[in-house]
Structure 1
């Protein structure tokens, strides 16, 4: 039986989708999120979220605040979903931070933004905003900790959902001949430092990573 390692604990429905395909699954959380007791300025109108954890931190901090005047600019479907569930107006959703920064530069050059992020946030968005003189402030609202774990076995495939998750796995393990299934291009860029056996999801969702792995292994049954 072909077996894959997931670098995050899957939901029951995601796990069922994978196991029903006849594949084996081992799962663990390669990352641990710590929300910080940070003061988040709430007088801004425009907020940038590049992860669902930043949205969670914002919502926890602003429970008694009226969000009706907030505009959200976000990356990823999961981030978008949490914002929608909390009735926060979304101006733009993109699949990666560079595209979001380009949209802001092109369409909101005179606006001011608050970028809520984690300690491992990537450089592309701040660099593009700064280079184009977009007024923004940045607040770190959560920390991502690598949960290091060594596996004394190999896997046919490994499922990666962020560059940080890949870094965590690679601390104590090698890819060897495993196929790396990546949620997006930034995760794949990290994987390319170690392997050329990479398949990138068509859409940046956990479900699509699973589908790509299932399709790949079924092809070689």
Structure 2
């Protein structure tokens, strides 16, 4: 069956290449945000994840329970890293697992990551920094001259801006890979289903360079000659750079990884076109 390419002038269709996040029986915040302005948003995950090195992670996290001066801080740049900490502690639960971190600075970038950290009972700083690189500046301001390392649980496709910048300012970083990022096993099937049911989207939003690498070619194949109709949006500079390198520059770029920032970027970009 061929994809349907009829375009409706009444509703802007937005395809979000991300995992759906529902909390406390509330819909994904991106879906909620777009619905408030009458846009029809759909989520299709481009990536899937698996946790690794959880025993090592638990050992490092628990060090600050028994030896509070082992680490100066812990830094999270993705909700997945927070989930890894939670899962590592669930495997062999003990009382007050995170008590050693309660009095120390904990950093997180983005609303989703900060929310996940709060669910652990911790109080993150740096939520509004907008990117890992800018979060590094917040950390440097607080910890320059500190001799204790900072614990950085991260993924296999992590970028090096944050640890490199911290180390350039004399701040030691203990990086531990705690999850693997892979192409979603049903990406092709889910995208084909989307095109068959809804046609070519008006806007496709990419949330990471990996999403660009895995999904852009599939989108081009499904859209065919209608590919030129699609406008692309990026969350952050690195994703926008990935789109530009792939020959499909972003028309819209969110300054922060939040639904509101994305919607503002689209509104501003549309008014200028």
- Tell me which interval the TM-score lies in, with the shorter structure as reference length: 0.7 to 0.9
1:119 to 156, 160, 173: 156
Give 5+ residue unaligned stretches, structure 1.
Answer: none
Question: Is the counterpart of residue 89 in structure 1 residue 123 in structure 2?
Answer: yes
Q: TM-score, normalised by structure 1?
A: 0.83
Pairs within 5 Å for 1:52-91: 52-63=79-90, 64=94, 65-67=97-99, 68-91=102-125
CA distance in 2, matches of 1:105, 1:212: 29
Which range moves more in the overlay, 23-32 or 44-53?
23-32
- Size of the aligned set, in residue pairs, is 219
Write out per-residue CA displacement over residues 103-149 of structure 1, whole angstroms, 9 at most, x where no aligned residue: 32333021421111000111211221232331121100111111242
Secondary structure of residue in 1 paired with 2:178: strand
Q: Which residue of 2 aligns with 1:133?
A: 170
1:4–1:157: 8 Å Cα contact kept in structure 2? yes
Q: Which residue of 1 aligns with 2:68?
A: none
CA distance in 2, matches of 1:99, 1:202: 11
Give the deviation of 1:179 after TM superposition: 0.9
Which range moves more in the overlay, 86-95 or 139-148?
86-95
2:240–2:249: 8 Å Cα contact kept in structure 1? no
2:18–2:45: 8 Å Cα contact kept in structure 1? yes
Q: Which residue of 2 aligns with 1:191?
A: 243
CA distance in 2, matches of 1:206, 1:161: 11
Runs of 4+ in 1 over 6 A off after TM superposition: 214-217
Higher strand share: 1
Secondary structure of residue in 2 paired with 1:170: helix
Give the deviation of 1:56 after TM superposition: 1.1
Backbone CA RMSD of aligned residues:
2.8
Higher helix share: 2
Q: TM-score, normalised by structure 2?
A: 0.69
Q: Which residue of 1 aligns with 2:230?
A: 178
Give the deviation of 1:177 after TM superposition: 3.5
Secondary structure of residue in 2 paired with 1:145: strand
Q: Which residue of 2 aligns with 1:105?
A: 140
Give 5+ residue unaligned stretches, structure 2.
Answer: 1-7, 64-70, 221-226
Structure (1 or 2) with the larger CA radius of gyration: 2
